[in-house]
Amino acid sequence: MDKDAPSALIDARIAALDDWRGEMLGHVRALIKEADPEVVEQWKWRGVPVWSHDGIFCTGESYKRVVKLTFAKGASLEDPAGLFNASLEGNVRRAIDIVEGERIDADAFKALIRAAVALNMAKPRKKKG
């Protein structure tokens, strides 16, 4: 694999985070791939893993105390399990901040991924008139 390919860069980021953050980023990446086998991995903004399908739907950032998963159109998604816990004040994005020791509900997360992909794939409605 090309060492500069987005998937290889994401692999390297996960390996470089040799603590719970790397494990969590690897875990959510696997869940994203399970939920959307056609996902396109990208590497943007000097080191941010990005997952796309007909447009960006999620980014995965790692900080000192949190792994942040930002959903590009999160404000438009139903979140019955209440996974979104950050960036709640915005009109467009929503995020999930995961701290050390926290678990993510895999089924609810995959449902959120599938909903984000479906939203990206939805054809925009044309205005009548």
Please name the residue ranges forming H helices in 3-42.
6-16, 20-35
Q: Is residue 69 part of a domain?
A: yes
Q: In the chain, where do the E strands start and end?
A: 40-44, 48-52, 56-62, 67-71, 94-98
Whether the pLDDT of residue 46 is over 90: the answer is: no
128's tokens: 């009548």
Q: Is residue 105 part of a domain?
A: yes
Number of domains forming the structure of the chain? 1
Contact yes or no for 57/46 (Cβ under 8 A) = no
Residue bearing the bigger pLDDT, 96 or 4: 96
Q: Is residue 127 part of a domain?
A: no
pLDDT tens, position by position, 100-126: 999 999 999 999 999 999 999 996 765
CATH for 64: 3.90.1150.200
63's tokens: 């900080």
Q: Is residue 80 part of a domain?
A: yes
The mean pLDDT value for 21-43 works out to 97
The mean pLDDT value for 18-29 works out to 97
* Structure-token match 């869940």, residue found: 31
Q: Is residue 129 part of a domain?
A: no
Q: Which domain holds residue 66?
A: 6-121
Whether the pLDDT of residue 10 is over 70: the answer is: yes
pLDDT tens, position by position, 86-100: 999 989 999 999 999
Q: Measured between alpha carbons, how far is 12 from 89 in angstroms, rounded to an integer? A: 33
